[in-house]
Amino acid sequence: MLLAALTFTVMTTLVKFLGNDYPASLQTFYRQAAGVIVLLPLMARDWRRAFYTTRPGILLFRSAAGTLATILSFYAYQALPLADANALSFTRSLWLVPLAAFVLREKIGFPRVIAALAGFAGVLLLVSGMGGGGTSNASGMALLWGQGAALASALLFALTITGMKVMVRDHAPLVLLVYAALLGLAFSIPPAIFVWRWPGLLDLVLLAIMGAFGVITQACYIKGMAVGDAAAMAPIDYTRLVFAVIAGFVLFGDIPAWTTIAGALIVVGSTLYITWSEQRASNRLARAAASQAHS
């Protein structure tokens, strides 16, 4: 999980660096293409195992939602400071609360509702300080679109994470990576065509590195969630906010506003509480099931 946070920061730094010349949809295509190339040796080693699935519908949905989420996320990282975009991306855990209530019909306790509302209040604090008072109308609109893209991508990623948690029960991480790469590449072609341009050699290398780090990030995250306890893994994922602050300051001169820090702390605290409460509830159900089995 720590390696996933670090490689994710490298990937998003390259996304922002290349953003002036390559729109988000085109970057997504190159990321997916590089990911497929990286995974080809693993596919060739045991293609039957790499493509075996009993839930093609979920894989198709995850890939479609994940591709759109990636495009929106890349746009957000281009339009916003790295720290702000990272902080807004953490709202994916907050989206899981209303999704569980309205889509999965789960019973949501009052503390989780309060934590989610507090988290979204942190989002309002976070976005209120973006841009400062001297922002021009054009820059203000770019920030607004960036914020909207970040929140929308977080919602879509919440959907893909829900699907991932279901799939890792009986699917190897390689299967999820292979389908996400291949289907993601197919879904990314149409929007990339409208903004197509051939990269120069240096840009091609950077785009390939960005794609490779994207695959490494996804592989590490899936493996961490599959092996580690969710409540223990969640705090480690938030270290990418620290990495983003450092990278943003050193490479782009971004200095986070106090509202960014305060809002991010509220969002992180809320999502950690939600994660831990879900883990406690899951442990109680497991103990109850074990007790019934013994009786």
The predicted pLDDT at position 103 comes to 65
**Cα–Cα separations (whole angstroms), residue 176 to 50, 105, 185:** 9, 26, 14
Query: Helix, strand, or coil here: 17?
Result: helix
The predicted pLDDT at position 134 comes to 45
**Domain locations along the chain:** 2-286
The predicted pLDDT at position 77 comes to 94
The predicted pLDDT at position 262 comes to 87
Whether residue 128 contacts residue 66, with contact meaning beta carbons closer than 8 Å, is answered with no
Helix ranges (H only) for the chain are: 2-18, 24-45, 47-51, 56-79, 82-89, 92-102, 110-128, 137-167, 173-193, 201-227, 230-237, 239-252, 258-294
Q: How far is CA 39 from the centre of its chain?
A: 20
The predicted pLDDT at position 130 comes to 66
The predicted pLDDT at position 292 comes to 66
Which of the 8 DSSP states describes residue 273? H
Q: Which residues are CB-contacts of 153 (< 8 A; sequence separation ≥ 6)?
A: 68, 69, 70, 71, 72, 73, 76, 89
Whether residue 35 contacts residue 238, with contact meaning beta carbons closer than 8 Å, is answered with no
Whether residue 168 contacts residue 225, with contact meaning beta carbons closer than 8 Å, is answered with yes
The pTM assigned to this predicted structure is: 0.82
Q: Chunk the chain into consecutive blocks of 10 residues (it has 295) and report each block's average pLDDT, rounded to whole numbers.
A: 92 91 93 89 87 88 93 94 88 78 70 83 78 54 88 91 75 86 94 93 92 87 74 74 89 85 86 78 68 64
